[in-house]
Amino acid sequence: MNVKKFVKILNEEIVPAEGCTEPIAVAYVGAKAVEILGKKPTKLDIYVSGNIIKNVKSVNVPNSGGMVGIEVSAVMGAVAGNADEELMVISDVTPAQLEEVKEFIKNKEINVIHEKTDVKLYVRIVAYNGDESASVEIKHLHTNITKIEKNGEILIERACNDTNFTSTEEDREILTIEGIYNFAKTVDLSEIEDIFKMVVDYNSAIAKEGLTKKYGVNMGSMIRENMEKGIYGNDQKNRSASFAAAGSDARMAGCPLPVMTTSGSGNQGMTASLPIIQYCNDNNFSEEETIRGLAFSHLTCIHIKTNVGRLSAYCGAICASAGVSGGLAFIMGEKLEVVSDSITNTLGNVSGMICDGAKASCAMKIASGIYAAFDSVHLSKAKKVLSSGEGIIGEDIEKTIKNIGILSQIGMEGTDQTILKIMTNKY
């Protein structure tokens, strides 16, 4: 186990973002294109992959006054964004800038083109002003610029392996559940406490916002209301599912509060953290115990998601829910075998959940994943675990995680295309 590499992975994967990361990626590219152009644009051409279309179509863009869509995301970045802020690119939009955004959408030319590419996460925006133009392209990661052009001249072009791309960052192949378990047990707290204090502060704040105001379908607050009415029990599972779902309620509805993302996703970041935070708060765990549990949950999510890919028809909240199941067993003081079995049970249960874009129903899927995580822990504590050869379950946890990667990247490729066609009324 290389502690420094594990810490670097955490710092690369857990970053702040305001708003759903796919609309924000579009806004980031728009802001960068205008920065390169050096003047206000009069026209935008927006080239996006199918998965970007899927994940931007139905989610509110923060600070936009409730607007949705690819055009809104791109114009928000182009007119009011600061590319230096990366995934916080549109966090400081003024009322005057918002009016300028609305005016641009109403009167300027904006073209959205579905780029026929095998790259799941792809955005290229060309900003024009008269005879001048600037083009910025990202691939695979939300801020991974691969090409910049101005007036037909290439300024930056970075080689990118589109077939076997995993990451331009620290090698994720070093991650295993056993290695993550040992890291979370033994790492010097000073190496990870700053980032996880931010996780606790940011993600708790948006979850509390989702519990107290009307956002989306209000899945989180609905669970709490039914607990108070006695319809649902006031128990650990419901409190944790409610807290996690409430964060997603707020975020998918465009709440401008930032979250700490994991593996490029705010929903995954909230799912991997909020149930652990709620459990530790309810049971008077120390700050150190909470941070170590969060480290396990997040690294497990990253490990599984690396096999799945950044964008997929496989719901990323399930990767995070599996991390939660292992994280709960970890903070309960269970041995590696029980922790691994908890993850196995979760993956064997809810791995069929599809991703059909970012939207209000993400909160419902997160709640379902958290319920599954709690069930999985208690089954494994009772020495009940799904067996090798039963469906997608492998002979050990690492093989099962590999199987999830095969399922999501190969088995669900057709599912991904079908979902996109349904969402774009192609049937």
The pLDDT tens digits of the residues spanning 253-310 come to 999 999 999 999 999 999 999 999 999 999 999 999 999 999 999 999 999 999 998 8
Q: Which range among 157-166, 294-303, 335-344 shows the weakest confidence by mean pLDDT?
A: 157-166
Question: How much is the pLDDT for 425?
Answer: 87
What gap in Å lies between CA 31 and CA 170, rounded to an integer? 27
> Distances from the Cα of 134 to the Cαs of 14, 16, 72, 158, 232, in angstroms?
30, 27, 19, 17, 55
Question: How much is the pLDDT for 169?
Answer: 54
Compute φ and ψ for 347, nearest 5 degrees: -65, -35
Contact in structure between 307 and 404 (CB atoms under 8 Å): yes
Tokens 């806004």 -> residue = 27
Question: How much is the pLDDT for 164?
Answer: 45
Higher model confidence: residue 401 or residue 141? 401
Nearest Cα neighbor of 416 from 55, 34, 42 is: 55
Helix (H) or strand (E) holding 393: none
Displacement of CA 216 from its chain's centroid (Å)? 18
Q: Which residues contact 269 (CB under 8 A, 6 or more apart)?
A: 14, 199, 203, 259, 260, 261, 262, 298, 320
Question: How much is the pLDDT for 84?
Answer: 96
| 222 — pLDDT class (breaks 50, 70, 90) | very high
| 171 — pLDDT class (breaks 50, 70, 90) | confident
Q: What is the mean pLDDT of residues 311-330?
A: 96
What gap in Å lies between CA 219 and CA 225, rounded to an integer? 10
Question: How much is the pLDDT for 1?
Answer: 67
What gap in Å lies between CA 390 and CA 354, rounded to an integer? 21
Contact in structure between 82 and 93 (CB atoms under 8 Å): no
Radius of gyration (C-alpha) of the chain in whole angstroms: 21
What gap in Å lies between CA 420 and CA 422, rounded to an integer? 5
Given a cut of 90, is residue 405 above it in pLDDT?
Answer: yes
Q: What is the mean pLDDT of residues 20-37?
A: 96
Question: How much is the pLDDT for 427?
Answer: 78
Given a cut of 80, is residue 161 above it in pLDDT?
Answer: no
Count CB neighbours of 166 within 10 A: 14
pLDDT per residue over 30-62, tens digit each?
999 999 999 999 999 999 999 999 999 889 999
pLDDT per residue over 231-260, tens digit each?
999 999 999 999 999 999 999 999 999 999
Tokens 């994991």 -> residue = 262
Question: How much is the pLDDT for 165?
Answer: 46
Q: Read off the pTM.
A: 0.91
Which of helix, strand or coil describes residue 192? coil
> Distances from the Cα of 56 to the Cαs of 174, 302, 414, in angstroms?
32, 22, 20
